[in-house]
Amino acid sequence: MKLKDITEKFGITEKQLVSILAGKETKPKILEHNISNKVFTFGVVSDTHLCSIHEKLDELHTFYEICRKEKIQIVVHSGDLLCGWGIYRGQENEVKVFGADNQITYTVKNYPKIKGITTYFIDGN
């Protein structure tokens, strides 16, 4: 499949596609695995660090939209969902939502919710 075919299929720009597939901070992927002669397809994303000035909500939502269009029913978020607090020196300067309750509320409000897709979270920081 050519790059133009992919961008047209999902209604995204080449820059968005490159950012999703090769971004430095988030690298969501769609994987296929053959287990017991059955193929399982699922999405994987991690290190979204929501509530940080470095979060990429637009890319996260675009990834979920791609999963929806590809009929992916399972996404695994494999850690570091939130930016937290006190993780490394200077991190407090990168936090845009303060307090555990506020970070949870923000995440529930902003995390993609797509009918037909179930997300499983593996906790990190």
- In the 3-class helix/strand/coil scheme, how is 43-87 assigned residue by residue? EEECCCCECECCCCHHHHHHHHHHHHHCCCCEEEECCCCECCCCC
Q: What is the CA radius of gyration of the chain?
A: 16
Average pLDDT over residues 57-74: 91
pLDDT tens string 75-94: 998 888 867 777 778 777 78
Using alpha carbons, select from 65, 69, 68, 77 the residue that is nearest to residue 27: 77
Rounded Cα distance between 57 and 45, Å, is: 12
Q: Into how many domains does the chain fold?
A: 1
Using alpha carbons, select from 81, 68, 56 the residue that is nearest to residue 113: 68
Residue 71 zone, left/alpha/beta (φ > 0; ψ -120 to 50; rest): left
Please say whether the beta carbons of 6 and 17 come within 8 A: yes
Domain that holds residue 104: 3-121
Report field, pTM of the whole predicted structure over 0.75 = no
Determine what percent of the chain is predicted with pLDDT higher than 70. 73
What end-to-end distance do the CA atoms of the chain give, in Å? 37
pLDDT tens string 10-35: 777 777 666 665 544 445 566 566 66
Average pLDDT over residues 62-87: 86
Quickly state the pLDDT bin for 54 (edges 50, 70, 90): confident
Residue type, 55: E
